[in-house]
Amino acid sequence: MAGSDFEPFKLEIERLYIHENKTLPHVMDYMASKYSLIKSPGQYNRQLKKWGFVKGRITADEWNWMANKQNKRKSNDKKESEFYVGGNQVRVPKLKKAKYRDAYVSSIARYSTAPSPKTPEGFFVCTPTSPGMDLTWNGPLPWLRFISFVRLKESRESPSPSSSLPIGSPHRSDTLTRIVNHELMSRLSTIIPWSKLGHPMDIHSSSQTSAALSILMPEEFRGQHNALATDLNGATNKGRERRALELFLLSNNIASQDPHKATKDNMRSDDERMMQMLGDYGWKDLAHVQTLLSTSEPTAEAIAEKVFAISLRLQHVDAVKMMLEVHRDLNTPLIESAPHGVLTPLQFTTKSHHERSEELVNLLISYGADVNHAGTEYPPLFYAIRKRDNRIIRALMLHGAIVTPSCLSIATHLQDIEVFAEIVNSSPSVNVNAITGWQSALAEAVKRRNVPIIEILIAKGANMDNMVSINFDGDIATTTILGLGAMSQSMDVVRTLLRACYDINPNFVRMPYISPIVIAVREGSVEITQALLQAGVDIKLADKQGKMTLLERAAKDCSTASLVPLCKVLIAYGAQVDRPLSAQKYETSALLIVLARKSASPEVVQLLINAGARVNDEYTKPPYTALGAAVEQGNEVMINRLFATGATFVGTKLEAIGRLRTAIYLQENGVLEGILRVSGPGILAAALLAKTTDLAQYLLEHNADHEERIENKAYFPYQQTPLEAATQAQDFTFVKRLLERGARVTDSVLGDAISKDPVILKYLLARFRGSAPTAVGAAVSCRASLQLLQLLQGTGLDPTGVPNLFQEYWDLDNFKLPLPESVLEIAVVLGTRETLQFLLQWAPWSPRLTGRALTIAIFLDLADLAEDILSFHPDLTQEITIKYPEGEGERQTYRPLEAAVNNQMIPVARELMKKVDVNYLGRGARRRTALQYAVEKGNMELINLLISTHKARIDGPPATDGGATALQIACLKGYIGITRRLLDLGADINEAPAKFNGRTALQGAAEHGRIDTLQMLLNEGALIVGEGEPQYRRAVELAERNGHQAAARLLRSWRDSVCLSSSTI
C-alpha cells in the first residue's frame, strides 16, 4: 500500500523504534494491535529508510563516508560539518574517535575533487550554525541576579523533582526527555526567524540551538550555551536548565514569531505547558513566590505578571488567588487579548466564557479591581455585555458598574429584554453618543432591527433627530435614525420610528445629508418608500441628493420584481423623471439605465415615457442614447416603441449590436453606416467574441473591420480589435478573412493566440515581424513548453519591450508586484529556470531590465534564478516596490542586496556585498539597510559579514516612517546578544527614533517587555533625565500600555536612583 498510510503514525513509530529502541517485530505488533496498521516487514523497512529512521551500530563504510565528507568539506569548501543519522546528531567527540578507529582516509581521497560516495541511507550533513560572537556580559543584569538567587535557594533546600513527567523505564524516561528537549529546540527555532539553516526543519542541531541561545540570553558562565545545546540535542535530562531557559524567555516576553503558532488552541497549550513548568519550579507555592518577589528583582516581578496572566487565561482559580496575595495593581493593562489589545485582569475575565468567571470577577473585585476602570478602551461591563453573560453583567452592576454610552450601545445587541431594561434603567442618559466606533444606543438598536429595545429607548426619551454616519455610494454621509430604519429594510422598525418622529424633514445645513427615501429606494423596498412618502418625507429634496435621481437609483439597484411598483410609487409622488435641460451633458438617465438592463421592462419604459422622459438626449456614459441602449440589447420591441414616441437619435458610439435583425433594421433606416464609421471595429469584435457568426458576417460585408475608422479611441480604451476577437474566439475562417482584408497582426493578437489553436498561431506568426513581448509573456505565463518559445524565436520575433498582460497591477494573492517591464520578470515569477535561461540568451537585455528581474527573483527567494541573472551583469541598484494588502505594512521597497539579506540568501548576499553600497537606505516607509535586515532576522553570519568584512555602518539611520537603527531593532526584538555586540562596536544608545512610527532603543525594549535588554541599556547610559526625559516618559507609557508593568517599574526605579545620585552630588 502507499507510504502515505504510514504518515499519520510517524511520531509514534519514531518513539517506539528510535527513542525506546524497540525491535521491528515489536513495533509491528504494537501498531497492528493499537492502530490496525498491518504491513509487511519489507514495507516497514522501506518506510523507515524513507524517513531516515536508522539505528544500530554505524558501519565502517558509514564512518568512512563521514570522515571523508568532513575532510573534503573542510579542505575544499572551508566548511565545518554536522552529521545526523535517523534525525539524531552524531556527536563530534564520538565521530573523531570512531573516525580513527574504523576509518582511514588517504590524503589522495581527502583532497580529491572527485565526486564523494553516495550518502548512506538515513544520513544527513550540514554546516553548523555559528553566532560568531564572543561576548562579555558587563554590568549586573536582572536575569543573572535572579537565577543566582534561585540557584542559591535551591542548594539550601531539598532538591525538587527534575520533571513532573511520569517516569517509567529508563527507555521511557529518555524518550520523554528527548521529546521535551526537541519541543523546546523547535520553539527556539521559531523565535528567531532563520530561513536558511542548511538542514531540514525537523532536525535541531546543537550549533543552531547554541546560536539561538547566545542571541537571546546572557550566559551565567562561559560555555553555558554550548553545554546546554549539546544536552538538549540528546536525551540528557536537564530539567532544571530547561526550566531556567523557559523562565528567562517568559520574563523577557520572548515568544514565537511564527504567525501560524498564534492560534487560540496553541496559546492555551502553551499556557498549560508553562503552568506545568512553573509548578515544577515552585511558582504554585505562595511562600516560594513571596520569597522570590521579596528580592524586588524585575525578573521575578515580570514572571509574576506572566504567571498571573496565564492563571487568568486558564481560569485557574487557586493560582489566581495565590497571585492576588502578591500582585500589586489590578487596574493596569496586563493580559494581551486579540483583537482587544492589552486588558486589565477584570476586563479580561468579564470577556471570558467560563463556568467560574463569576467567581473570578468577584474575587478580583474583592482584591481591589475597579469595576469602572476602562483601561485603554472599554470598561469591564462592556465586555460582559458583549459576551451576553447575564451573571457577570449583574455581578458588575451590583458592585456599582456605571453604564457608559458604549455599554448602552452594545447592550442593544442583547436578546434578553429584561436584562436590557435593567441596564437602561441604570444608565444616566440614553442620548449620549458612545466613543468612536459606536453610535447612539437607538441607532444600534435600529441597525439590529430590535423593535422591543427601540420602543424602550424611545420611551426613555431617545433623540430621533441624531445625525448618524453611513457609507453611501462610497462616501461618508449622514442620515437620521429614520434613515437607518430604511436601511434596516424592516417595516416594523420604520413604523415604530415614524410613530415617534416629529420632524420628518430635518434641516441639516452644510451636511451631506441622505434622505430616508433615497436609502429605501437603494434597498429596493416599495413598502418602506411608500410609507415614508405618505408620512410626508420631501421627495424633491431627496431627488437632489447623492449621485443619482430616485428613478435612476431604482432603475440601477432594484430587482426586476420591485422595479415596476417602485417606479409607479415614485412617479405618482412626483419623482424627477429627467434632469433639467442643460447645455452640459449628463452621465445617464433613468430611461437609459432601464433600457440597458439585461431584460428591459417594457412597462417601466412606458411609465417613464408617459411621465415625459426625453428620448433623444445624448449622455456621457455608455450606451449614450436611448435608441443606442435598445440597439445594443437587440431589442426591436423597444426600438419600435422609441421610434413611435419620436426617438430619432441613435448616436454612433455603440459597443455592440444585439443581433442580426437589429443590424438589418438599422441598415434599412439608414443609420448603420454612420454607426460603423465610428464604432465598427468594436461592434464587429463584440459579435465575434459572442460567436454570433451571422451578425459578424453581415457587419464585415458592411466594412465594419476598417480599423482606421476608430475615431473615438478614448471611449473604448480596452476594446479589442476584430482580429484579436477572432483569434480569441478561435474562428480561423474570420482570422483569414480579416487578414485578407488588410488586418495587421499585432503583439496583442499573438498574445491571444498563444494558448489557442497552434494552426492559427503559426498562420499569424508567418505574417508578423517585430517586437512581441506580450506574446512571449503569454507563452511564459501559461508555462508553455520550450518548443513554443523556440518556435517564436525561429520566426525572428523580438522578445524585448513591455508586455501588456496586466492593466493596473500584478496581483499575486499575498502581494502585488509592479507591472512587468520585460518578459524576464514574468519568467521569474511564473516560468521555470529553463525558461529564464532561454530568454536571457535570446536577446540582449539592458542592465536595468536584468536588474529588475534579479530583485524580483531574490524577493521571491529563488536563488537559482538569481544566480543565472547575476551572470548577465544586471544593474544592482534597481528597486522594486511590493504592495501588500491593507493592514500589512502597505508597501515595501527592495534593492537586490536588501532583499537577499531579508531572505537570508547568504551566498547571493555575499556576492552582492562586494559590488554595492551596503549602507544604502533609500526613500520610503519602513526601509532598512542590509545590516538592519540582518539584525531583524537575527542572522549573525550576515551581521558579521556586513560589519567585519564590508565595514557596514553600525548606526545607519532609520527610515523616516517606521524605520529603526540596527540597535533599535535588536532591542525591540529581544536579541540581547546582538544588542551587546552592537554596543561593544559603538552603537549610539540614544539614537533618535524614526520621525514617524519610530522607537528609541530604550522605548522599543520597554514596549516589548525586554527586561534584561532594558537594564543593559540603562547600564550603558541610556538617557532618562534632562534631554532624555521625553524618551523616559514615552518608554514608561509604552511599557504600561502593553502590559509590561515590571518594565515600567524598572524604569521608574532607575530614574529615582539617578535623580537621588544627582541630588547628593
Residue 962 pLDDT: 94
Q: Which of 760, 782, 805 is the last residue of a domain?
A: 805
The 3-class secondary structure across 962-985, one letter per residue, is CCCCHHHHHHHHCCHHHHHHHHHC
* 204 to 31, 187, 197, 941: CA distances (angstroms): 27, 10, 10, 18
- Rounded Cα distance, 206 and 82, in Å: 9
pLDDT in tens, 924-945: 899 999 999 999 999 999 999 9
Residues above pLDDT 70, as percent of the chain: 87
Residue 995 pLDDT: 95
Q: Which of the four pLDDT bands, split at 50, 70 and 90, describes residue 1064? A: low
More confident residue, 93 or 507: 507
Burial code (b: 16+ CB inside 10 Å, e: under 16) for 651-684 equals: bbbbbbbbbbebbebbeeeebbeebbebbbbbbb
Any domain includes 42: yes
Q: Exposed, middle or buried by CB within 10 Å (0-12, 13-18, 19+), for 15?
A: middle
Residue 1026 pLDDT: 92
Any domain includes 1038: no
Are residues 64 and 43 part of one domain?
no
Residue 707 pLDDT: 60
* CA Rg value for the chain: 37
Are residues 556 and 470 part of one domain?
yes
H or E stretch at 681: helix 672-689
The amino acid at residue 794 is G
The amino acid at residue 52 is G
pLDDT of residue 908 exceeding 50: yes
Residue 1065 pLDDT: 55
Give the mean pLDDT of the chain. 86
Residue 166 pLDDT: 35
Q: Which of the four pLDDT bands, split at 50, 70 and 90, describes residue 260? A: low
What 8-state DSSP symbol labels residue 783? T
Residue 502 pLDDT: 83
Residue 688 pLDDT: 96
Residue 91 pLDDT: 62
Identify the weakest region by mean pLDDT among 187-196, 878-887, 972-981. 187-196
Any domain includes 541: yes
Are residues 15 and 111 part of one domain?
no
The amino acid at residue 313 is R
Q: Which of the four pLDDT bands, split at 50, 70 and 90, describes residue 21? A: confident
- CATH code of 470's domain: 1.25.40.20
Residue 1 pLDDT: 47
Any domain includes 608: no
More confident residue, 445 or 437: 445
Residue 392 pLDDT: 95
Residue 422 pLDDT: 95
Are residues 143 and 8 part of one domain?
no
Q: Is the dihedral of CA 214, 216, 222, 224 positive or negative?
A: negative
pLDDT in tens, 817-830: 999 999 999 999 99
| Cβ atoms within 10 Å, residue 397 | 19
Answer whether 125's CB lies under 8 Å from 85's CB: no
Q: Which of 548, 575, 602 is the last residue of a domain?
A: 575
pLDDT of residue 198 exceeding 80: no
pLDDT in tens, 304-362: 999 999 999 999 999 899 889 887 789 999 988 877 789 999 999 998 878 889 999 99
Q: Of 960, 969, 1020, 1013, nearest to 990 (Cα)?
A: 1020
Dihedral of CA atoms 848, 849, 850, 852 in degrees, nearest 10, equals: 90
pLDDT of residue 119 exceeding 80: no
Burial code (b: 16+ CB inside 10 Å, e: under 16) for 310-334 equals: bbbbbbbeebbebbbebbeebebbb
Most confident option among 116-130, 262-276, 310-324: 310-324
Grid cell, residue 484, equals: 437607518
Q: Which of the four pLDDT bands, split at 50, 70 and 90, describes residue 741? A: very high
Residue 693 pLDDT: 95
Distant-in-sequence contacts of 102-107, Cβ < 8 A, 24+ apart? 102/60, 102/63, 102/64, 103/60, 103/63, 103/64, 103/66, 103/67, 103/68, 104/64, 105/64, 105/67, 105/68, 105/71
Are residues 120 and 65 part of one domain?
yes
Any domain includes 551: yes
Burial code (b: 16+ CB inside 10 Å, e: under 16) for 20-33 equals: bebeeeebbeebee
- Rounded Cα distance, 434 and 969, in Å: 38
Are residues 108 and 143 part of one domain?
no
Any domain includes 74: yes
pLDDT in tens, 776-789: 999 998 887 899 99
Q: Of 386, 306, 374, nearest to 343 (Cα)?
A: 374
More confident residue, 983 or 433: 983
* Structural domain total, the chain: 5
Q: Which of 805, 835, 852 is the last residue of a domain?
A: 805
pLDDT in tens, 984-1023: 999 999 999 999 999 999 999 999 999 999 999 999 999 9
What is the rounded average pLDDT of the residues 13-29?
A: 82
pLDDT in tens, 33-76: 888 888 998 888 888 877 767 666 677 777 777 788 788 777 77
List of residues 6+ apart from 794 with CB closer than 8 A: none
Identify the weakest region by mean pLDDT among 485-489, 579-583, 806-810, 865-869. 806-810
Q: Of 567, 562, 556, 563, nearest to 593 (Cα)?
A: 556
pLDDT in tens, 591-632: 999 999 888 889 999 999 999 999 999 999 989 999 999 999
The 3-class secondary structure across 516-553, one letter per residue, is HHHHHHHCCCHHHHHHHHHCCCCHHHHHCCCCCCHHHH
Chain centroid to CA 912: how far?
29
- Rounded Cα distance, 590 and 921, in Å: 56
More confident residue, 468 or 161: 468
What 8-state DSSP symbol labels residue 961? B
What is the rounded average pLDDT of the residues 671-700?
A: 93
Any domain includes 721: no
Q: Which of the four pLDDT bands, split at 50, 70 and 90, describes residue 184? A: confident
Are residues 38 and 78 part of one domain?
no
| Cβ atoms within 10 Å, residue 519 | 29
Instruction: Establish whether the linkage from the previous residue to 170 is cis, with ω within 30° of 0.
Output: no
Q: Of 711, 704, 762, 708, nearest to 737 (Cα)?
A: 704
pLDDT of residue 742 exceeding 80: yes
Are residues 542 and 471 part of one domain?
yes
pLDDT of residue 154 exceeding 50: yes
pLDDT of residue 158 exceeding 90: no
Residue 164 pLDDT: 36
Chain centroid to CA 861: how far?
18
Are residues 143 and 13 part of one domain?
no
Question: Where are the strands (E) in 516-674, listed by range?
Answer: none
Any domain includes 29: yes
Most confident option among 211-220, 486-495, 672-681: 486-495
Distant-in-sequence contacts of 733-742, Cβ < 8 A, 24+ apart? 734/688, 734/696, 734/700, 735/760, 735/763, 735/764, 736/763, 737/700, 738/705, 739/767, 741/700, 741/705
Residue 56 pLDDT: 60
Are residues 18 and 43 part of one domain?
yes
Are residues 101 and 65 part of one domain?
yes
703: phi > 0 → left, psi -120 to 50 → alpha, else beta; which? left
User: What is the extent of the structural domain holding 485?
Assistant: 466-575
Residues above pLDDT 90, as percent of the chain: 56
Are residues 40 and 115 part of one domain?
no
pLDDT in tens, 458-485: 999 998 888 888 888 888 888 999 999 9
pLDDT in tens, 718-727: 578 999 999 9
pLDDT of residue 209 exceeding 70: yes
